[in-house]
Structure 1
Amino acid sequence: MDEELWELSVERTHCQGSGVCVSLAPGHFTLRDGRADPVQRLVEAEEAILEAAETCPMEAVFVRGSTSGRQLAPPE
């Protein structure tokens, strides 16, 4: 990946609160009111974050390049 920072977001209307993202990337996601939220919006690149987005059963977790806005996960 050529992006320096990644932007994390969760589509809370699609999130079912399974906690998969929290389990796979605990320092980056948390559950709030039964739904996932990023701990920080901008983060340094880390493979566990991509895995969390790609494993989300509702495809509610998104990772984008902070500069390009290109969606890195889940695959489009």
Structure 2
Amino acid sequence: MSDSQWRLEVDRHTCISSGMCAGIAPDHFELEGDGSHPLADVVDQDESVIDAAESCPVEAIKVFAVANGDLVAPKD
């Protein structure tokens, strides 16, 4: 793991299955019956992941820096 990787989390209780994340970042998120989930827990940095997290209408997606655990997205 390196400074250029992010950890993805989707709060399944908050997720409303809007499908925005899977539409914006289909290489990183998949929509299933009970909501979205990341295809991998740790990914290389990709701007589409940030766009997906910031586009989620209920902010169910969190993106953290692997190196230090800082929240990368969504930003207030």
The root-mean-square deviation of aligned C-alpha atoms, in Å, is 0.9
Superposition deviation, residue 33 in structure 1: 2.1
Task: Indicate if the aligned counterparts of 2:17 and 2:34 stay in contact, CA closer than 8 A.
Answer: yes
Gaps of 5+ in 2: none
Give me the TM-score of the superposition, normalised by structure 1. 0.92
For residues 24 and 30 of structure 1, what CA distance do their matches in structure 2 show? 11
Residue in structure 2 matched with residue 24 of structure 1 by the alignment? 24
For residues 71 and 33 of structure 1, what CA distance do their matches in structure 2 show? 27
Runs of 4+ in 1 over 6 A off after TM superposition: none
Give me the TM-score of the superposition, normalised by structure 2. 0.92
| 1:48 maps onto 2:30 in alignment | no
Aligned length: 74
Residue in structure 2 matched with residue 74 of structure 1 by the alignment? 74
Identical pairs, percent: 36
Amino acid at match of 2:6: W
